[in-house]
Amino acid sequence: MITALLTAAGTGSRMKQDIPKQFMHVKNKPLIVYTLEAFQEHPSIDAIVVVTLPSWIDVVSAYAKQHGITKLQAIVPGGASGQESINNGLLKIRADGASDDDIVMIHDGNRCLVSSEIISDSVAVFKAKGSAVAAIPCVEAVFRSHDEGASSTVSIPREQLFRTQTPHAYTLGKLMWAHEQAKLQGVEDTAASCVLMQELGETVYLSAGSEQNLKITTMDDLYIFESILDARKSAG
């Protein structure tokens, strides 16, 4: 069984809007619904769990009913951090009867253009390696700065660098173990599960991402998202 765990508990402060970014409307549809539809339509996904702000739980439920998201299994209140929010979702998946060997695919609720191909490759890499983290190669020259971006004398070979995205696919048992270890070791506020796994000494296996699988965190991202939708519509 594969459960998509969508994180949508951020407040979206960088957008400087009255509502959280994941609930902003683009072309008369909330951003979170685009993400829900991507996992609803993929044949490998059996269930969806959403972690969101407590005051928005009823709204997510209403959106799901309105847009035919029949795979939605639960909506869970988020925590004080991304790490805590994910843990809340994992605890709900476990409470609902999932086994340690079941797959959980954690995905940012505001990565609305996750494609069927990205989800499929995540499943394929998971089956081959035991886990999968969507990523794309870095194509820019990259420098390390020790004075908050004022200057640099060190460049990092870009062929060694990959930018991680979501989904992150792991077994439920592995994720529960990681969050328990985080509590024991005092690891806090790792919103990316792959970073938590790396800090715990785990190898990160990469699956295919895409430049279009952007995380909408600023108004610039929102404009890019709208432009991609328009381009896809024009292309038929």
* pLDDT(224) > 80: yes
Q: pLDDT at position 20, please?
A: 85
Has residue 14 got a pLDDT over 70? Answer: no
Comparison of pLDDT for 225 and 187, the residue scoring more: 225
Between CA 49 and CA 64 the distance in angstroms is 11
Helix/strand/coil for 61 = helix
Give percent of the chain above pLDDT 90: 81
List, as one string, the DSSP characters of 169-194.
EEEHHHHHHHHHHHHHHT-----SHH
C-alpha distances in angstroms, 118 versus 38, 44, 115, 158, 197?
10, 12, 5, 23, 21
pLDDT-based confidence at 16, cuts 50/70/90?
A: low
Class of domain 2-235 (CATH, top level): alpha beta
User: For residue 206, what is the enclosing H or E element?
Assistant: strand 206-208
The tokens for 198 are 């790396």
In tens, the pLDDT along 179-217 reads 999 999 988 878 789 999 999 999 999 999 999 999 999
121-164 per-position pLDDT tens digit? 999 999 999 999 999 999 999 998 989 889 998 999 999 999 99
At 148 the pLDDT is: 85
Q: 12 versus 193: which is more confidently predicted?
A: 193
pTM of the predicted structure, to 2 decimals = 0.93
| Residue 190 confidence (pLDDT) | 84
Element spanning 154, H or E? strand 154-156
Cα–Cα distance list, 50 to 23, 98, 105, 227, 233 (Å): 13, 16, 12, 27, 28
